[in-house]
Amino acid sequence: MNERLWNIIVESFPKLLEYGLKVTVPLTILSFILALVIAVIVAMIQYANVKPLLPVCRFYIWLIRGTPLLVQLYVVFYVLPEIGIMLDAYPVAVIVFGFNEGAYMAETIRGALESVSVGQMEAGYCVGFNYLQTMWHIVLPQAFRTAFPALSNSLISMIKGTSLASTITVREMLTEAKVINGRVMETGGLYVEVAVIYLAFCTLLTWLQHALERRLARHGGTVK
């Protein structure tokens, strides 16, 4: 590797990492929390068969799964202002990422809810719980455990997906790499650097996932 490129990479590293920690990570966390809230609500509506809201949930999942994430970003970012709603790029990104991944996670959680045996629910009723108490204390925690690996996948795919926010003017790692790239007239090397930082983030998450899975397994062992 030539020395100039190496210097560029070393010098830009703190800046890129800073954008990673200050933009990519919070953007991911916020989007993921939004996605999780949406997913639990949508999954519970379907699980509990709340008739009037079922078509809404189905439409939402159909719409999100049937259109590309990038297009969703563009539509929300460029169409909302035309109907008079002014939002910064960052909240738009959170909303789009949250609603997007929320649709996939809703399906994951619904499947996990349905895998909890009805006997758990009935036992809850028999010790005096009402529906929501049974869901909260018994069914959801078990479903969450079943869904955990798939939800981890969603989180990992989301952290990478946040790079698309650069296309709607959010200044994040990739945007910054482009800026530096333009200034120093380098090609390629900086993107490899960005890739390495994403890889580090995802490796960390995978490691965390496995640690948590071991912990969950200790607390309650295998779930049939």
- Among 117, 157, 169, 203, indicate the residue that binds another protein (CB under 8 A): 117
Q: Does the footprint of another protein cover residue 115 (CB under 8 A)? A: no
Q: Does the footprint of another protein cover residue 125 (CB under 8 A)? A: yes
Cβ–Cβ < 8 Å for 113, 41 = no
Tally helices (H) and strands (E) across the chain.
10, 0
Q: How far is the CB of 97 from another protein (least distance, A)?
A: 30
**Which is closer to another protein, CB of 124 or CB of 161?**
124
**Which is closer to another protein, CB of 132 or CB of 208?**
132
Q: How far is the CB of 126 from another protein (least distance, A)?
A: 4
Q: How far is the CB of 117 from another protein (least distance, A)?
A: 8
d(C-alpha 192, C-alpha 203), whole Å: 16
User: What are the φ/ψ torsions at residue 186 (nearest 5 degrees)?
Assistant: -110, 155
Q: Does the footprint of another protein cover residue 141 (CB under 8 A)? A: yes
**Residues 6 or more apart in contact with residue 199 via CB below 8 angstroms:** none
Cβ–Cβ < 8 Å for 140, 147 = no
d(C-alpha 91, C-alpha 97), whole Å: 10
Q: How far is the CB of 112 from another protein (least distance, A)?
A: 13
Which residues sit at the interface with another protein, rule CB under 8 A?
117, 119-120, 122-130, 133, 137-138, 141-142, 145, 219-224
